[in-house]
Amino acid sequence: RSYARAQTGLIEIENTHNMAGGTITPPEQMEEICDRAHERGIPVHLDGARIFNAAVALGRSVAEMTRKVDSIMFCLSKGLCAPVGSMLVGSAEFIEHARSVRKALGGGMRQAGILAAAGIIAIRDMPKRLHEDHANARALAERLREIPRLKVYPEKVKTNIVAVDISATGLSSAQMLARFRQKSLIAGTVNDSILRFLTHKDVSRQDCEAAATIVAAVCRQVGGSAAGS
């Protein structure tokens, strides 16, 4: 034990991992991390914003995916489609403390029942359709792979996030996104050379096809400009 270094007080795991293209940490690995952390008296928190996507992709229950973690946050408004909201889950003692912290920080809402109703529907009904988002993401990845100078690996698309390496186009992520926006296509970034596309309930297979068509057109335009220069 080194007293000259800060001691670990918390281990946090993100599952699925957003910036790694929606990759999944399997429950067996989660449990191993938890066991080792607990042996050292270290709690484990799960950033499970998309934990339902992970569970659906693996054919496991969320309970299995989170069995040994000490606390969990999951989002109601991403794949589960609620208009707003997240859930914090933990022991009664933990939640009581979280409520006091929330109050101290100015949190809390009045008459939030209408939002809670949407959250209940999100938890009850929406996980069963997440496989559609995953299938659409894979279909999008397959189409994007056909576009010259883009690096896309459909076999790595496990959930609803598609990472696209655009470094061979000669444009930065910001430059590429600006061209997309001119054609009403919105995407995100991982870094200056990797874009990310996400699918959800309001993105259909036809939308994925349209997005791929726009990306192909932009890449052709970029290629033509480079050739002309």
Examine the pLDDT at 228 and tell me if it is beyond 60. Answer: no
The answer to whether residue 5 sits within a structural domain is no
For residue 223, the domain's CATH number is 3.90.1150.10
16 and 122 inside one domain:
yes
Report in angstroms the alpha-carbon separations of 66 from 21, 96, 104, 119, 159: 20, 20, 28, 20, 18
94 and 157 inside one domain:
no
Q: How many residues does the chain have?
A: 229
Examine the pLDDT at 205 and tell me if it is beyond 70. Answer: yes
Tell me which residue of 16, 14, 13 sits closest to 159, measured CA to CA.
16
Among 83, 104, 128, identify where a domain stops.
128
The answer to whether residue 114 sits within a structural domain is yes
SS3 of 183, please? coil
Which helix H or strand E contains 75, and what residues bound it?
strand 71-75
Tell me which residue of 135, 133, 16, 139 sits closest to 81, measured CA to CA.
133
Supply the range of the domain harboring residue 34. 11-128
Please report the pLDDT score of residue 5 as a whole number.
83
146 and 108 inside one domain:
no
Please report the pLDDT score of residue 223 as a whole number.
77
Q: What is the pLDDT of residues 130-141, one digit of tens each?
A: 999 999 999 999
The answer to whether residue 223 sits within a structural domain is yes
SS3 of 202, please? coil
Number of domains in the chain: 2
124 and 54 inside one domain:
yes
Please report the pLDDT score of residue 136 as a whole number.
99
Question: Across residues 49-71, what is the average pLDDT?
Answer: 97
Examine the pLDDT at 46 and tell me if it is beyond 70. Answer: yes
211 and 124 inside one domain:
no
Tell me which residue of 144, 134, 155, 141 sits closest to 58, measured CA to CA.
134
The answer to whether residue 3 sits within a structural domain is no
For residue 65, the domain's CATH number is 3.40.640.10
Among 84, 113, 128, identify where a domain stops.
128
The answer to whether residue 4 sits within a structural domain is no
Residues 6+ apart with CB under 8 A from 129: 201
Please report the pLDDT score of residue 226 as a whole number.
53
Give, in degrees to the nearest 5, the angle at Cα 212 between 221 and 145.
Answer: 90
The answer to whether residue 31 sits within a structural domain is yes
Q: What is the pLDDT of residues 140-189, one digit of tens each?
A: 999 999 999 999 999 999 999 999 999 999 999 999 999 999 999 999 99
The answer to whether residue 106 sits within a structural domain is yes
Among 128, 148, 172, identify where a domain stops.
128
Which helix H or strand E contains 187, and what residues bound it?
none
Examine the pLDDT at 207 and tell me if it is beyond 70. Answer: yes
